Chain A
Amino acid sequence: MLLSPYPTTSERIRVAALWIWCVLVLIFLVVPIFVPVPLSFNSGSFFTFPLAGISTRWYEVVLGTPRWRAAIGNSLLIGAGATVLATFLGTLTAIGLSDPKFPARRFVVPLLISPLIVPVVVTAVGTYLFYARIGLANTYVGIILAHTVLASPFVVVTVGASLTGFDRNLMRATSSLGAKPLTGFRRVMLPLILPGVLSGAAFAFVTSFDEVVVAQFLANAQQRTLPLEMFTGLREQLSPAITAAATLMMGLSILLLIVANLLARRSRQGASALAE
């Protein structure tokens, strides 16, 4: 389709050059993220190919040493806390926003998504200063709250998208049949928007699981997360254990995000099918 029906030689050359350029761009885009994967199975301690041999010793380091295990545990704990909070608060907010009578939407929506726009260092430094004063710095609660702030926009947007096709008459029908609002929500609305909510939860978890800048300011030695451990390792002594940790993080993030996107798509389709 790039070529006209009767291409000239110069046109063929131009299109061929375009294709070569695009293939190179795709190689540049994709190859680097997979480079750590084979290196993480290297039995030697160097970052070069060919590999000295295949081994899982670096995964044993990451999954076996107390330092890395504590970091993984912290990441899972903080990620779970932020996910639960962000999903709960974000879903409520998205339901509120989906109401046509929601007041001052023009001002509230930018406020809700502002954590994504404000440079993360500014957020991190400000939170650290404020939390230090009220005793929340260096606590799990502090990090969970800060991660919830960063994760909540994703939940609001994902659940909001799944609500665009939701027929509000269904809620009127439930109340006319005598159901309390909470029952109507639990039995009618939630099942219909559940894929969107789960998708938002997955986004929230990945946001917290991958986050390092806020954690760097708010966590002490006890609360070190997996990305923080990796960040320190990259800064101080580069060890192949980092390629193993990176592979684990990448695998989990990509898996969750694929699931999240499939769910989000399904919830939008489901909602629009219902609208028709």
Chain B
Amino acid sequence: MSSIAMPSIKTRTSATDRSDSLRPLALAAPLLLLLAFSFGAPIVALLSRAVYEPTIANALPRTIAALRVDGATGVPAEPVFSAFAADLKEAQAAGVIYEFAKTLNTRLPGARSQVLRVARLAGQDQTATKEAMIKAAPLLGEEQGWAAIRAGTNRFTSFFLLSAFDLRWTDQGTIGAVPADQAVFTRVFGRTFLIATLVTLATLALAFPLAYVMTNVRPVIAGIVLVLVLLPFWTSILVRTAAWTVILQKYGLLNDLLLWLGVTSDRLELMYSRTGLIIAMTHIQLPFTLLPIYSVMRAVQPSQLRAAQSLGGRPFTVFRRVYLPQVMPGVLAGCLLTFILCLGYYITPVLIGGASDQLISNFIANYVNVELNWEMAAALSFVLLASTLGLYVVMTRYLGLDLFKMG
């Protein structure tokens, strides 16, 4: 009997085990589903736009078929042109011609008006010849124009991701740089990284000594200082940015102060300047750098420093060889956190930075709101997200910083 009963008990326990681990998962399921719906799906949908662009392919079914017969390079022969004319005529009838023209324009600057002109021609003249079409749209007579159309007929594209790095496929089928006058994004990324670096260094210079003093004063004073650090930390970024726009005005508080102190003789243009932007960003980021440093410094045993000193270490040597190595993880974690948050900055550069201080986030927003070029916004989002997540993995994996053990 027992030999029969044993397995059945075993199956029962493993079944209970499974339902035991399913019950806690079921509790988390509603939030996980909401995250999948309202956070995961949107981000996947956005990123897929960077590599999936069917507009051109959808508008040109006949042209695609004709091109397949015609060949892979060069200006095609007459049949492709008549197929193209038929496709454009239908696109116009279906009301998608403007979307098509806009999409082609992102790949081939200046194509928009020419495409619309050819479409009008195709609508009026059933038998528009190759020659007439090239006359209406000179780009159709160029190899480069057809290279862009051929590339666009592929629904999956690397065009936008390459563009995010100012690269493109050349006519020879290799990857090369875009013309200098179209290269914007490496500059924008460079600027974003530069400003993030400057702000990170500034917060470190301000935070490190303060955190050090906080660990070496009476607990009551350290507590008061901590409250003073947390107050701005708890104030929303928008409110703090608003405060800085008031302070940085030409006839604002900071200029008054600088004049009164005699530091400057003229009022400085701090609004819409990089100096103003870095001051405001440093103010907003300071607690993010300070709190991890402070929490690490608090754990350092003062007895070790005394021991090092009693063994004859000069203060600077003790600092460099005993203190610094112990607080370094906190310093790196605080700096990385600030750097990561600076990469995604949006509000403060819009409100305080000048036209030449707009960071990558502003470009993404601009491509969505003004240029209506979703694919480029998606490609830039992809790069920004990849940089952010990469640095975040470094921070948690190698430095063991827990985002939620601060404050």
Contacts and interface: CB of A to CB of B under 8 A. Distances in A.
A48 B381 contact: no
Interface string B201-216: 0000011011011001
B232 interface: yes
A119 B404 contact: no
Contacts of A2: 213, 216-217
Given A30-B232, A92-B30, A116 B403 contact: yes
A101 B251 contact: no
Nearest to B369: A217
A212 interface: yes
A254 interface: yes
Nearest to A255: B234
Nearest to A235: B351
A118 B43 contact: yes
Given A212-B347, A213-B347, A217-B368, A253 B41 contact: no
Interface stretch (A53-61, A122-130, A193-201, A267-275): A122-130
A108 B42 contact: no
B343 interface: yes
A92 B249 contact: no
B300 to A, nearest CB: 13
B-side interface mostly:
helix
Contacts of A46: 251
B28 A253 contact: no
Contact of B42 (A21, A98, A127, A235): A127
B283 A121 contact: no
Interface string A61-102: 000000000000000000000000100011011011111011
B42 A123 contact: yes
Interface string A233-276: 01100100011001001100110011000000000000000000
Interface residues of A, number: 84
Contact of A1 (B217, B243, B283): B217
Given A119-B344, A122-B344, 16 more contacts: A25-B207, A30-B228, A30-B231, A33-B239, A96-B28, A102-B25, A118-B388, A118-B389, A119-B343, A129-B374, A149-B39, A230-B239, A235-B351, A238-B245, A249-B236, A257-B234
19 contacts: A19-B213, A21-B210, A28-B286, A29-B286, A32-B232, A35-B246, A92-B28, A92-B30, A96-B24, A97-B24, A97-B28, A103-B21, A103-B25, A118-B388, A121-B344, A129-B45, A129-B374, A130-B46, A243-B242
Interface of B: 17, 20-21, 23-28, 30-32, 34-35, 37-39, 41-43, 45-47, 49, 206-207, 209-210, 212-213, 216-217, 225, 228-229, 231-232, 234-247, 249, 251-253, 256, 283, 286-287, 315, 340, 343-344, 346-347, 350-351, 361, 364-365, 368, 374, 377, 381, 384-385, 388-389, 392, 403-404
